[in-house]
Amino acid sequence: MLPRRLAFALAVTACGPTPADTSGASDTSATSDPPASTTEPTTGPDAPGVCLTPHPEGIAVATDAAQCINSEGTDGAIELTYETWPELVYDDCSHAEVEVDVPCVATAIDEQTTAVAITLRCTDDAAELHELTLTVTAPALFFPVCTGDELRLRYAFDDYGCPNGGHSEALVLRAAATDAILVAKFVDRIEPWLAPLDLAVADDAGCESSSNSCITTTRSAARISEAMSAPALVYDGTRRIAELGARYVVQPELVFETSPEGCETFSSVEILLARVDP
């Protein structure tokens, strides 16, 4: 079962107008209408929304040049947490997998200094409502979304189970009205869910391999493209803006290790993507 987190509630308060000062002397008595209230409603259809703002400041723009860039030690994560749905049913080998494609609404946004928790209320195929929490732990991966926005979530999780454990995960969140990609995450798998974008691991990113007596390690890059736009290469351990039909922050972790028989083999594949443009 995945970790469980509770979404924070966001309270919105406002102050009413300050009464007019009537202490000044005057030879003429006059009456006037009181100033209009500046208090905004906090409930109902006219309640003000809370919006998340992207922070692409200081992030370099990616190019299509296959020139290996050293890892820059990027941080930040995108995590989807939930309690009972989607339901993971485990077999005797501790294996379980699930995939959903559902409409959702952003019902709360709790933004802290370096992280945000977004509550999603999603409707399953049986018209049942479920609350999930999408947590982003780096402002560079924030994306444009407001409370009340109608969204579409496609999500898959596969817990491998025995004998070696591990998991794969894929997540794409879109704006329901425009189909715009807002945020995506791929771990140990890349699904063709990003149309009109094409995302792949570069066959040859130009990085040299390093070897010891047992393992050869090669860093790679994510290649992201869209029709009519030049492709962009974003290297393992870096964070770049891909300027396509829209702008996206792309952050990959792509390290491949190969070894002769008898030695442990390991690979790390994770690609995070967040929209910059509203």
Contact indicator for 140, 249 with CB cutoff of 8 Å? yes
Tell me the average confidence (pLDDT) per consecutive run of 10 residues in the chain, 278 residues long: 35 38 38 37 53 97 94 95 91 92 98 96 96 98 98 96 89 98 97 96 89 85 93 96 97 86 76 95
Instruction: Give the tens place of pLDDT for each residue, 199-250.
Output: 999 988 999 988 877 888 899 999 999 998 899 999 999 999 999 999 999 9
Cα 19 to chain centroid, rounded: 45
Token pair of 176, please?
Answer: 């329901």
* pLDDT for res 16: 41
| Euclidean distance between CA atoms 23 and 18, whole angstroms | 14
- Closest C-alpha among 69, 78, 75, 71 to residue 232: 69
Pairing of strands 197-201, 210-211: unpaired
Phi-psi region of 165 (alpha: psi -120 to 50; beta: other; left: phi over 0): left
* pLDDT for res 201: 93
* pLDDT for res 48: 62
173 burial type by CB count under 10 A (0-12 exposed, 13-18 middle, 19+ buried):
buried
Contact indicator for 110, 12 with CB cutoff of 8 Å? no
Contact indicator for 256, 74 with CB cutoff of 8 Å? no
